[in-house]
């Protein structure tokens, strides 16, 4: 069956959560991968390095590998230029336009939806505000483009035969946005690469891309006010310098770090802190795989992987006070968190369990489709 399958993924310019899902899908079905733009350096030493990757015309545009998002208005056109008519099965990994691939009545299209387009739907007003696009000519152009993206996004829904969501939270958003049901298969977490470490050190940790919706600035501001608690920040991104300016002396930035360094800090951290609202939150499971408690915003997909009071603590206000109150509560109750129980919870989301469920779903739908 592998020879009759194609995989579609928006872009391959970094290895983040959706790319880890893509890797697991590719392990099951080592099929050609169609993507808008790819940076071979970013997938070096990964399973995807040797994959057959087909890119769109965006690959040849100026600065495409680093600034591909500037070509957002061209994404729908670009994804529709791929001719996949000779495949029987299409598997799309979607956060933006991958599900919009053109299919015909003889093809089976299964979409693993990480989220409907965030900045066109749920985070539309937040995105405009954070990017300074609420007024002026640039703001008007952005609103027109996103209006067009919403129309196109909805019109492509019926190109998908079956949706898979990465969490119940995203399944509800798919229902709300697309009026379609979705089966929930949690994303794969390579829990075996992380080791249980029961002797925790005296620091808190956050690992994240430095972008507005991750709310790293909220965590940094909170710890700057709690001067006697140490915070280590790992990650890079466009907001890094801005966030660094907010930090006190008890906050240490390490920038981008390779996996082994991230793993080391995650295994030894007193707790992992996160203030963003995630669709699922693979990094929250990775922390738990180390036996490390998670202190996080209790909305989005987090309640599906973190057990409040047992493997972590939730705060309900996405602000400085919410983080500070949660840290203080954790300090009073930290002895009740058992690293072994925390790791056991993480094992529910192993890569092997994902692969088993995903393959079963695809083959079941294929059997139904061909009967």
Q: What is the DSSP string of 267-309?
A: HH-SEEEE-S--SS-HHHHHHHHTT--EEEESSTTGGGT--BT
Q: Is residue 272 part of a domain?
A: yes
In a domain, 49, yes or no: yes
In angstroms, rounded to a whole number, what is the distance separating the alpha carbons of residues 291 and 339? 4
In a domain, 129, yes or no: no
Q: Say how many CA atoms lie within 13 Å of 356 toward its Cβ.
A: 6
pLDDT score of 369: 78
Does any domain span residue 125?
no
Q: Tell whether 261 and 310 lie within a shared domain.
A: yes
Identify whether residues 230 and 302 lie together within a single domain.
yes
**Mean per-residue pLDDT over the chain, rounded:** 93
Question: Is 112 a residue whose pLDDT tops 80?
Answer: yes
Give the residue ranges of DSSP H helices in the chain: 17-28, 64-67, 75-80, 124-130, 136-155, 168-178, 216-225, 240-244, 259-268, 282-289, 320-333, 339-346, 351-370
Same domain as 248, residue 169: no
Q: What is the pLDDT of residue 2?
A: 46
Of 115, 80, 122, nearest to 94 by C-alpha is: 115
Residue 124 lies in a domain: no
- Work out the pLDDT band at 131, boundaries 50, 70, 90: confident
- Residue 137 forms part of a structural domain: no
For residue 350, give Cα distances in angstroms to 189, 271, 343, 347. Answer: 5, 21, 11, 5
- What pLDDT score does 171 carry? 97
CA angle 5, 102, 362 (to 5 degrees): 35
pLDDT tens column, 207-218: 998 988 899 999
> What dihedral angle (degrees, nearest 10) is formed by the CA atoms of 107, 369, 360, 104?
10
Judged on CB neighbours under 10 Å (0-12, 13-18, 19+), 290 is buried
Q: Token pair 């056991």 is at which residue?
A: 344
Instruction: Give domain status of residue 132, yes or no.
Output: no
Q: Is residue 103, in this structure, part of any structural domain at all? A: yes
Nearest residue to 38 (alpha-carbon basis) of 21, 20, 24, 51:
51
Predicted confidence band at 1 (pLDDT cuts at 50, 70, 90)?
very low
Phi and psi (nearest 5°) for 89?
A: -125, 130
Single pTM value for the model: 0.87
Q: Which domain holds residue 221?
A: 191-348
Same domain? 356 vs 280: no
Task: Indicate whether 306 and 175 sit together in one domain.
Answer: no
Residue 19 three-state SS? helix
Predicted confidence band of residue 130 (pLDDT cuts 50, 70, 90): confident
89 & 49 share domain: yes
Tokens 């990465």 -> residue: 166
Q: What is the CATH number of the domain that holds 305?
A: 3.40.50.2000
288: nearest Cα among 332, 350, 331 = 350
Give the whole-angstrom CA distance, residue 173 versus residue 196. Answer: 34
Count the domains in the chain: 2
Share of the chain above pLDDT 70, in %: 99
């Amino acid at each position: 069956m592998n020879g009759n399958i194609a995989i579609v993924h928006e872009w391959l310019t970094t290895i983040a959560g959706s790319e880890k899902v893509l890797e697991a899908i590719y392990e099951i079905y080592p099929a050609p991968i169609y993507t808008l733009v790819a940076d071979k350096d970013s997938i070096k030493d990964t399973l995807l390095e040797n994959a057959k990757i087909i890119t769109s015309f965006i690959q040849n545009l100026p600065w495409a590998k680093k600034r591909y998002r500037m070509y957002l208005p061209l994404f729908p056109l670009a994804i529709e230029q791929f001719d996949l008519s000779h495949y029987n099965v299409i598997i799309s990994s979607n956060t933006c336009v991958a599900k919009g691939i053109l299919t015909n009545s003889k093809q089976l299209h299964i979409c693993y939806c990480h989220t409907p387009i965030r900045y066109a739907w749920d985070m539309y007003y937040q995105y405009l505000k954070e990017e300074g696009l609420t007024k002026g000519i640039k703001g008007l152009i952005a609103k027109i483009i996103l209006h067009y993206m919403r129309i196109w996004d909805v019109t492509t829904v019926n190109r998908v035969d079956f949706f898979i969501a990465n969490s119940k939270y995203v399944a509800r958003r798919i229902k709300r946005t697309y009026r379609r049901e979705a089966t929930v298969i949690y994303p794969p977490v390579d829990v075996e690469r992380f080791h249980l470490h029961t002797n925790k050190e005296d620091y808190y940790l956050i690992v994240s891309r430095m972008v507005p919706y991750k709310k790293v600035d909220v965590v940094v501001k909170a710890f700057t006010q709690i001067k006697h608690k140490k915070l280590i920040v790992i990650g890079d991104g466009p907001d890094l310098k801005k966030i660094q300016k907010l930090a006190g002396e008890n906050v240490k930035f390490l920038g981008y770090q390779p996996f082994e360094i991230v793993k080391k800090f995650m295994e030894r951290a007193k707790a992992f802190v996160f203030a963003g609202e995630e669709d699922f939150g693979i990094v929250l499971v990775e922390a738990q795989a180390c036996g490390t408690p998670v202190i996080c915003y209790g909305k989005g997909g987090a309640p599906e992987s973190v057990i409040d009071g047992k493997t972590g603590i939730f705060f309900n206000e996405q602000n400085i006070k919410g983080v500070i109150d949660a840290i203080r509560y954790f300090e009073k109750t930290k002895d009740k968190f058992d690293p072994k129980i925390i790791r056991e919870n993480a094992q529910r989301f192993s890569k092997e369990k994902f692969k088993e469920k995903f393959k079963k779903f695809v083959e079941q739908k294929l059997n139904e489709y061909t009967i």
